[in-house]
A and B are shown apart, each in its own frame.
Chain A
């Protein structure tokens, strides 16, 4: 079971690019990396998922190096509304044995 490690908290300012890194040293061959965002008093929201290299959507980019032992969620030009907790999950989407584990996440605070 691939354990993930993220910073507990990060601060940034509006307009900056924010990169949140997740370590998953024992990621398995079939594991994918998924990121969620959770605003206060709301359920988590799926942001992005990837297997290797780079994935980009309208919300964020996900960078995964060749060894896949870490990944970086990149939020371009953040605003106050990006203040949230961000979770990194690792697992095989096609295995019935996969465990869905939300760790403690990274609490991102954006200042004006």
Chain B
């Protein structure tokens, strides 16, 4: 029973397209995150949502828009994809009482922009 799941696992698309990545957690957590891990393996936080409310919005192009329809879902929509968006995107979740440093990560979505 997967705790944090992401779809799709792989995404290959062309520059200029718009795509979405979906994330769901069944842990009952109230905070969810999106991270980007580039080819050099640096993992950077992009967004954080707590109870459907945006908490963290790091310096990310506004082509990236997170959407949280409910506490268990946090989707990432990317407009006008660029070559530099190629990376692995991870979704994660945590619960308020243990704090944001104990996070559970999804398996990742490898996005390749050609």
A residues at B contact (CB < 8 Å): 32, 34, 38, 41-46, 49, 85, 87, 89, 91, 93-94, 96, 98-102, 104-105
Contacts and interface: CB of A to CB of B under 8 A. Distances in A.
Contacts of A32: 99, 101
A91 B99 CA distance: 10
B90 A43 contact: yes
B108 interface: yes
Contact of B103 (A42, A46, A101, A105): A46
Given A43-B92, A44-B105, A85 B41 contact: yes
21 contacts: A32-B101, A42-B105, A42-B107, A43-B90, A43-B106, A44-B43, A44-B103, A46-B103, A46-B104, A49-B102, A91-B101, A93-B101, A94-B99, A98-B100, A98-B101, A99-B45, A100-B45, A100-B101, A100-B103, A104-B41, A104-B42
Contacts of A93: 98-102
B: contact size bracket: 20 to 34
Given A42-B105, A98-B100, A100-B100, 12 more contacts: A32-B101, A43-B90, A43-B92, A46-B102, A46-B103, A46-B104, A85-B41, A87-B43, A96-B55, A100-B45, A101-B45, A104-B41
A9 B91 CA distance: 26
B44 interface: yes
Contacts of A105: 41
Contacts of B100: 91, 93, 98, 100
Contacts of B33: 100
Which 6 residue pairs across A and B have the least CB separation, nearest first? A93-B99, A43-B105, A102-B43, A34-B101, A43-B90, A93-B101
Contacts of A85: 41
A48 to B, nearest CB: 10
